[in-house]
Amino acid sequence: MRHISMQIGADRRPGTTTFESLDPYTGEPWATVAEATEADVDDAVRAARTAFETTWGPMPGRERGRLLRRLGELITENADELALAETRDNGKLLREMRGQVRSLPGWYEYYAGLADKIDGRVVDTGRPDYFGYVSREPVGVVGAIMPWNSPLLLLTFKLAPALAAGCTMVAKPSEQAPVSILLLAELFERAGFPPGVFNTVSGASREVGRWLVEHPDVDRVSFTGSETTGIAVARGAAGHFAPVTLELGGKSANIVFPDADLDAASNGLIAGIFAAAGQTCIAGSRALVHEDVYEEVLGRVAERAARIKLGDPQDPDTEMGPICFAGQLDKIRGFVAEAEDSGADIMTGGGDGGLGGLFFEPTIVANVTNDARVCQEEVFGPVLSVLKFRTEDEAVALANDSRFGLAAGVWTRDVQRTFRMTKRLRAGTIWINAYRTLNYSMPFGGIKASGFGRENGIEGLHEYLTDKAVWIETTGATRDPFVLG
DSSP string spanning 269-311? HHHHHHGGGG-STT---EEEEETTTHHHHHHHHHHHHHH--BS
Residues forming beta bridges with residue 34, ordered by sequence position: 18
Cβ proximity to ligand NAD, 148 vs 440, nearer residue: 148
- In whole angstroms, how close is the CB of 213 to ligand NAD at the nearest point? 5
Q: Say which residues have a Cβ less than 8 Å from residue 355's Cβ, sequence separation at least 6.
A: 310, 311, 322
Catalytic residue selected from 281, 324, 375, 463: 281
Q: Which residues are bridge partners to 99 per DSSP?
A: none
CB 213, CB 237: distance < 8 Å = yes
Give the nearer residue to ligand NAD in terms of CB position, either 210 or 448. Answer: 210
Residue 380 to residue 22: CA distance in whole angstroms: 19
* DSSP annotation of 194: P
Known catalytic residue at 247: yes
Distance, in Å, from the CA atom of 388 to the CA atom of 275, rounded to the nearest integer, reads 23
Compare residues 196 and 250 and give the one whose CB is closer to ligand NAD.
Answer: 250
- Cβ 312 to ligand NAD shortest distance, Å: 23
Q: Which amino acid is at 358?
A: L
The least distance separating ligand NAD from the CB of residue 451, rounded to whole angstroms, comes to: 6
Cβ-based nearer residue to ligand NAD, 285 or 412: 285
* 405 closest CA partner among 424, 432, 380, 382: 424
Cα separation, 317 vs 93, in Å, equals 10
Q: Please tell me the distance from the alpha carbon of residue 236 to that of residue 211, in angstroms, as a whole number.
A: 9
Tell the smallest beta-carbon distance from residue 422 to ligand NAD (Å): 20
**Nearest to ligand NAD of 50, 205 (CB atom):** 205
C-alpha distances in Å from residue 330, one per residue of 333, 342, 360: 5, 18, 10
Q: Which residues sit at the interface with ligand NAD, rule CB under 6 A?
A: 145-149, 154, 172, 174-175, 206, 209-210, 213, 224-226, 229, 232-233, 236, 247-250, 281, 378, 380, 406, 446
Q: What SS3 class is residue 447?
A: strand
Closest contact distance (angstroms) between CB of 436 and ligand NAD is 12
Residues making up the chain, counted from first to last: 485
Minimal distance, residue 318 CB to ligand NAD, in Å: 22
Cβ-proximal residue to ligand NAD, closest one: 209
Shortest distance, position 250 Cβ to ligand NAD, whole Å: 6
Shorter beta-carbon distance to ligand NAD: residue 264 or 442: 442
The 3-state DSSP class for residue 118 equals: coil
Closest to ligand NAD by CB, 134 or 438: 438
- Written as one letter, the residue type at 296 is E
300 HSE (CA, 13 A, CB side): 16
Output DSSP code: residue 320. B
Given 35, 247, 361, 463, the catalytic residue: 247
Q: What is the set of active-site residues? A: 247, 281
